[in-house]
Amino acid sequence: MTLKQSTEAIIAELGLMDLPENARMEVVARVGEVMVRSVAAAVLSRLPLEARREFEALSSGGDAKALDALMRAHIKDFDSFVADESRKALAEFKGYYAKALAA
């Protein structure tokens, strides 16, 4: 899924179409942060201890290719895993967002 497709999916899922563009993008950015953190936490929980240390080193070092290879080596069907974890994070955010709007 491309960044544009992901953005459009988040906007549709959260019903943000009627918000001004800048407000929509702010919500999308926050959702993106939640999703990245959620996926990272899920990845860490699946990695063995030594691979977690390597994950942390690669994350802070910025070697995206090596980080991707590490995750793929330890997590079967990594793309589906990321998609599932992203959906979970979006659903959680959606619940939080709905409560915040109702308050």
The model's pLDDT over 78-90, given as tens digits with 9 standing for 90+, comes to: 999 999 999 999 9
What residue type is 59 in one-letter code? S
Widest distance between CA atoms in the chain: 47
High-pLDDT (> 70) share of the chain, %:
100
- Closest among 7, 30, 27, 10 to 19, alpha carbons compared: 27
Going residue by residue through the chain, which has 103 residues, state the pLDDT in tens, using 9 for 90 and above: 788 888 998 999 888 999 999 999 999 999 999 999 999 999 999 999 999 999 999 988 888 999 999 999 999 999 999 999 999 999 988 888 777 777 7
User: Domain ranges in the chain?
Assistant: 3-102
So what's the pLDDT on residue 96? Answer: 80
Strand, helix or coil at 3?
Answer: helix
pTM for this predicted structure: 0.81
In 15-48, where does DSSP find H-type helix? 21-46
Q: How far does Cα 74 stand from its chain's mean position?
A: 18
Q: What value does the mean pLDDT of the chain take? A: 90
- CA distances (Å), origin 71, targets 31, 55, 89, 101: 22, 8, 19, 36
